Amino acid sequence: MAEYFILNTGARIPSVGLGTSQAEPGVVEQAIYAAVKAGYRHIDCAPAYHNEKEIGLALKKIFEDGVVKREELFITSKLWCGNQAPEDVPEGIDATLKDLQLDYLDLFLIHSPVRSKKGATPNPENFLPLDIPATWGAMEKLYNSGKARAIGVSNFSCKKMEDLLAIAHVLPAVNQVESHPIWQQMKLRELCQSKGVHLSAYSPLGKARSPGFEGPTVLRNPIVVSIAEKLEKTPAQVALRWGLQMGQSVLPKSTNEARMKENLNIFYWSIPDDLMAQFSEIQQVKMLRAEFVVHPQGIYKSVEDFWDGEI
Ligand code: A2P
């Protein structure tokens, strides 16, 4: 298994990236520095995580100390939902570049099929109808300008992907979605792979979940645990390795150095075919359902609406 996947732009996306959602300011700066020193070459960021300034400080120090050069890192960030109007998209990437102290991103994603009024709190009363063709047109301009070396989307269902593919001049390089052994995304992965769109997995350990959600856990799933025991790996390593073998990059979040290293140690061994087959027996449950986008008078009347029934 290669340490990279190739995007439809020809660029290489490192197969393991560090997730930074809920990586608290005050901890994240040191964590990023430690991660890059440990071998991470891909950092997944977003202004919605409220920590890009600290990540920018870490990156500056990493380059100043000569740990790696800018071109050795793959940095992803995302368009904030209040910046989806086409005229506001350039400001969205510029704010992120300023905070991250970079002059380009390797990948810039539409964070979510949710658009809110500019500057307003992103709750359903402030949502506006989507205009993905217009937003995507502005994303294509960023790609053509070189500020975003690849562009893509996040949290797009099969239906939204198909709608986007029908109008795109620049094909999306990536769809970043929840994916782990308990929410495997078989249909979406198949669609994306057939169209040359790379699937990237956030929350690949299945730890992020809707508030109050009390469903099963990936790291205690009996199939994951038994495969881990057979291979003498941890359940986290098995969950991540399953993702790589399915052809997706994985973005585990950790600010703990030992766990970061554990999550990177998923190369040079593999899950044999007979054990891979067992994953298909795992009952599927979506853990991040995005109830916060739902409102009776809003754009999305139910979570089924938001995910186009793919839930
Ligand atoms: P921590 O930052 O303390 O390591 P996900 O990416 O699926 O959302 O999972 C992230 C969560 O899982 C974080 O709470 C993180 O905590 C924890 N985590 C990260 N790596 C591991 C691991 N190898 N084993 C157990 N928990 C982990």
Does residue 37 have its Cβ closer than 6 Å to ligand 1? no
State yes or no: 111 annotated in a binding site.
yes
Q: What pLDDT is attached to residue 258?
A: 96
pLDDT higher at 25 or 267: 267
Angle between helices 222-231 and 235-245 (to 10 degrees): 90
Q: What is the rounded distance in angstroms from the CA atom of residue 54 to the CA atom of residue 19?
A: 14
> Is residue 199 pLDDT above 50, yes or no?
yes
pLDDT for 63-99, tens place per residue?
999 999 999 999 999 999 999 999 999 999 999 999 9
Q: What pLDDT is attached to residue 39?
A: 96
pLDDT higher at 23 or 277: 277
Kindly state the tokens that stand for 225.
Answer: 């645990």
Does 202 qualify as catalytic in the annotation? no
pLDDT for 15-26, tens place per residue?
999 999 987 778
Ligand 1 atom nearest to CA at 260: 20
Helix, strand or coil, per DSSP, at residue 96: helix
Ligand 1 atom nearest to CA at 254: 2
Q: Please report, for the chain, the start and end positions of each structural domain, with discontinuous segments joined by +.
A: 4-306
- Choose the weakest-confidence range: 40-49, 191-200, 244-253, 286-295: 286-295
Does residue 256 have its Cβ closer than 6 Å to ligand 1? yes
Q: What pLDDT is attached to residue 23?
A: 74
Q: What pLDDT is attached to residue 289?
A: 86
- The confidence band for 35, taking pLDDT boundaries of 50, 70 and 90, is very high
pLDDT for 92-143, tens place per residue?
999 999 999 999 999 999 999 999 999 888 788 888 999 999 999 999 999 9
User: ipTM of the assembly?
Assistant: 0.97
> Is residue 301 pLDDT above 50, yes or no?
yes
pLDDT higher at 215 or 282: 282
- 266: number of CA atoms within 13 Å, CB side? 30
Does residue 233 have its Cβ closer than 6 Å to ligand 1? no
Q: Is 93 exposed, middle or buried (0-12, 13-18, 19+ CB in 10 A)?
A: buried
DSSP characters over 230-257 = HHT--HHHHHHHHHHHTT-EEE-B---H
> Is residue 188 pLDDT above 90, yes or no?
yes
Q: Can you give the C-alpha Rg of the chain in angstroms?
A: 19
> How many angstroms separate the alpha carbon of residue 253 from the centre of ligand 1?
6
Strands 12-14, 4-6: parallel, antiparallel or unpaired by DSSP?
Answer: antiparallel
Backbone angles phi, psi at 149, to 5 degrees: -80, -15
Kindly state the tokens that stand for 279.
Answer: 């994953």
Q: How far is CA 21 from CA 159, 254, 278, 295, 310, in A?
A: 26, 9, 30, 25, 24
Does residue 208 have its Cβ closer than 6 Å to ligand 1? yes
Out of 27, 30, 207, 287, mutate this one to test ligand 1's pocket (max ligand atoms within 8 Å of CB): namely 207
Alpha helices in the chain (DSSP H): 28-38, 52-64, 89-100, 132-145, 158-167, 186-195, 222-231, 235-245, 257-264, 273-276, 303-306
Does residue 255 have its Cβ closer than 6 Å to ligand 1? yes
pLDDT for 95-104, tens place per residue?
999 999 999 9
Q: How far is CA 110 from CA 22, 80, 223, 244, 310, in A?
A: 19, 7, 34, 23, 19
Q: What pLDDT is attached to residue 2?
A: 60
- The confidence band for 296, taking pLDDT boundaries of 50, 70 and 90, is confident
Does residue 19 have its Cβ closer than 6 Å to ligand 1? yes
Is the pTM above the cut of 0.90? yes
The listed CATH number (3.20.20.100, 3.30.390.30, 3.40.50.620, 3.30.565.10) that belongs to domain 4-306? 3.20.20.100
Kindly state the tokens that stand for 84.
Answer: 């989806």
Ligand 1 atom nearest to CA at 203: 7
Q: What is the rounded distance in angstroms from the CA atom of residue 289 to the CA atom of residue 286?
A: 6
Strands 115-116, 127-128: parallel, antiparallel or unpaired by DSSP?
Answer: antiparallel
> Is residue 42 pLDDT above 90, yes or no?
yes
> How many angstroms separate the alpha carbon of residue 219 from the centre of ligand 1?
10
Q: What pLDDT is attached to residue 1?
A: 46
> How many angstroms separate the alpha carbon of residue 205 from the centre of ligand 1?
7
